A and B are shown apart, each in its own frame.
Chain A
Amino acid sequence: MADKQQNAQKSVKIAAGAVVCVESEIRGDVTIGPRTVVHPKARIIAEAGPIVIGEGNLIEEQALIINSYPENITPESEVEPKTMTIGMNNVFEVGCVSQALKIGDNNVIESKADVGRNVILTSGCIIGAFCQVNTCEVIPENTVIYGSGCMRRVQTERPQPQTLQLDFLMKILPNYHHLKKTVKAGHNAS
């Protein structure tokens, strides 16, 4: 019975309306909401718990969203699986790494940025290119982190949702890539 439960959990649920390319690597218990676009070579890995991704997100190539075990805990010991939640209209640009457990709406994680596990992004945050944020804090709304010294400032308006880009991609990507569909519960993850 425990086996069946485990198998039921470790599946990838892709909502209708999401565009997930077959070349992307999705492992573990991942739920992807509608209108989300996952580019080829993106990696979503749910090792230490499930990942729930909302709608309207844009996950670009070589982005890595990983729910992994904290470094000092071995996989064998008993750790409660924590769910990683990602809200709506977020953008994960090329090559970024995100391990944050809670991400709100309308955030932008720019190219090659690195967000640690103990960071909580609220909404409207922009993590600039190549910035590494591995503090243990809640980033307030509408914060912009930029520069090599990770300077911060607050902007007055949140970044706009990338609706134009999402529409374009949802039309064009299926012309060139095969898409992943929802896997029924009980089968192995594709």
Chain B
Amino acid sequence: MASLLQPDRVVYLVRGEKRIRAPLSQLYFCRYCSELRSLECVSHEVDSHYCPSCLENMPSAEAKLKKNRCANCFDCPCCMHTLSTRATNIPAPLPDDPTKTAMKKAYYLACGFCRWTSRDVGMADKSVGGCSYSKDAHINKLIEYYQQLAHREKQERDRKKLARRRQCMPLAFSEKYGLGTRLQRQRSGAPISNLAGLSLKEGEDQKEISIEPAPALDEVEPLPEDCYTRPISLPEVTTLRQRLLQPDFQPAGASQLHPRHKHLLMKRSLRCRKCEHNLSKPEFNPTSIKFKIQLVAVSYIPEVRIMSIPNLRFMKESQVLLTLTNPVENITHVTLAACEEEDPDEINSTAKVMVPSKELVLAGKDAAAEYDELAEPQDFQDDPDVVAFRKSNKIGFFIKVIPQKEEDGDVTVSFKIRHDFRNLAAPIKPSEEGGDTPAEAIWLTHHVELSLGPLAP
């Protein structure tokens, strides 16, 4: 019966720029606009970067400098698992007395999953644990060269701008290849009149970094004679995935696969596009899973769940038991309504549904209810035809379903749920009479679709 609790059995419709159907657990609720929001109708912003294995936090500027990679952690080039540093004792000659040998500790990298070690590619054991194993000197040199080139080009362009007295071009336009922050700072405060004084970083001579262009050869090395006849030794050949994870060298042989620094992950915060309020803001500390702001839909909107489904037969009426849970602490009144004819939202339903017409009352969520034995039983008059059971803030109710289509596939029903919502976030308007209810209830309507499974054979 756990399959009835799968999140995609009950989906709520989000009316944003796109109509999105998603389970309530994946939606957010903007309590300033009083609307459901899905991941596609919010803007995502990067909060902070962190390394998933050493959990080191990094501000975005530093992350950009390190190319979004952690300095201390490495990935296995073979299976992309995290590498761990292991120590061995090797006999090495003492510096004072070359004739005696003493045991020195040497460190190498090893993967616990595929048993790759850094010795496989011929990397020497380091005597200090935790130093850099990567070799990307060539790329660094190229990046420096192009940064200089970009700066020189920008200077040329700015000089031309000064000559023609045009408007200052947008800053983003002249940024190429990610110039360093010091140059950006100098540029951002520069109106046209200051351009003449623009120079390279103060105190640093203009280093002429020259890159030898790749030599163009007329004669290419011919393929070896046994290229077609030599049997391929599969363990020697790298897979495409292993190869493309190192785009600068793309080694074809497994003996040239070097470990890469681990990629950083990021924490993101979500912001409603209409009212610019934050919907989700995580904490800065990578070890903490809590949120500073967490406006998720499950804590504001009553949730519908399927409890039991009888055998569904074509054109026969069956009763399905659903539960409705109230997430807020005050009493909520819920009215259900079947979708009308020609409802533009109702495209998926394959069955007719009859929902209870009476208003359902849900008790508030009481966190101390399980400890408080003297709690009075709530006195709600429940119609036993409609309400199956009631338990603290949850209620079970019946709906009648008549499947209309005899095809293979799930029977889906949809209906509208209308509930009252007290917005405790909105500022309390001082009323003239004084003594108005602290929060006014507004009525929200949501479109819910349930997937009830296939027809009984």
Contacts and interface: CB of A to CB of B under 8 A. Distances in A.
Nearest to A147: B79
A52 B220 CA distance: 58
Contacts of B78: 153
A146 B235 contact: no
Contacts of B179: none
B400 to A, nearest CB: 46
B79 A146 contact: yes
A151 B76 CA distance: 15
Contacts of A128: 113-114
A153 B254 contact: yes
SS of B interface (majority): loop
Contacts of A153: 78, 114, 116, 235, 254
A144 B114 contact: yes
B395 to A, nearest CB: 44
Contacts of B359: none
B382 interface: no
B120 interface: yes
SS of A interface (majority): strand
B113 A155 contact: no
Interface string A142-184: 0110110001111111010000000000000000000000000
Contacts of A157: 117, 119
Interface residues of B, number: 13
Interface in A57-71: none
B115 A155 contact: yes
A144 B116 CA distance: 9
Among B116, B119, B234, B235, residue most surrounded by chain A Cβ atoms (within 10 Å) = B235
A132 B166 CA distance: 71
Contacts of A126: 115
Among A151, A153, A154, residue most surrounded by chain B Cβ atoms (within 10 Å) = A153
Contacts of B114: 128, 144, 146-147, 151, 153
Contacts of B120: 155-156
Contacts of B119: 156-157
A155 B120 CA distance: 7
Contacts of A156: 117, 119-120
Among A126, A146, A159, residue most surrounded by chain B Cβ atoms (within 10 Å) = A146
Interface in B235-267: 235-236, 254
Contacts of A152: 234-235
Contacts of A143: 235
Contacts of A144: 114-115
A60 B324 CA distance: 51
Nearest to B234: A152
A84 B254 CA distance: 35
A71 B274 CA distance: 67
A146 B79 CA distance: 9
B256 to A, nearest CB: 14
A118 B235 CA distance: 22
A126 B119 CA distance: 18
Contacts of A147: 79, 113-114
Contact of B113 (A146, A154, A159): A146
B235 A154 contact: yes
B156 to A, nearest CB: 52
A157 B125 CA distance: 15
Interface in B93-120: 113-117, 119-120
A144 B117 CA distance: 12
A144 B236 CA distance: 13
Among A126, A143, A156, A159, residue most surrounded by chain B Cβ atoms (within 10 Å) = A156
Interface in B119-149: 119-120
A23 B78 CA distance: 40
A156 to B, nearest CB: 5
A154 B236 CA distance: 8
Interface string B63-95: 000000000000000110000000000000000
Among B79, B114, B254, residue most surrounded by chain A Cβ atoms (within 10 Å) = B114
27 contacts: A128-B113, A143-B235, A144-B114, A144-B115, A146-B79, A146-B113, A146-B114, A146-B115, A147-B79, A147-B114, A151-B79, A152-B234, A152-B235, A153-B78, A153-B114, A153-B116, A153-B235, A154-B235, A155-B115, A155-B116, A155-B117, A155-B120, A156-B117, A156-B119, A157-B117, A157-B119, A159-B115
Interface of A: 126, 128, 143-144, 146-147, 151-157, 159
The 6 closest A-B pairs by CB, nearest first: A154-B235, A146-B114, A144-B115, A156-B120, A153-B235, A155-B115
Interface of B: 78-79, 113-117, 119-120, 234-236, 254
Given A128-B113, A128-B114, 9 more contacts: A126-B115, A146-B113, A146-B115, A147-B113, A153-B254, A154-B235, A154-B236, A155-B115, A156-B117
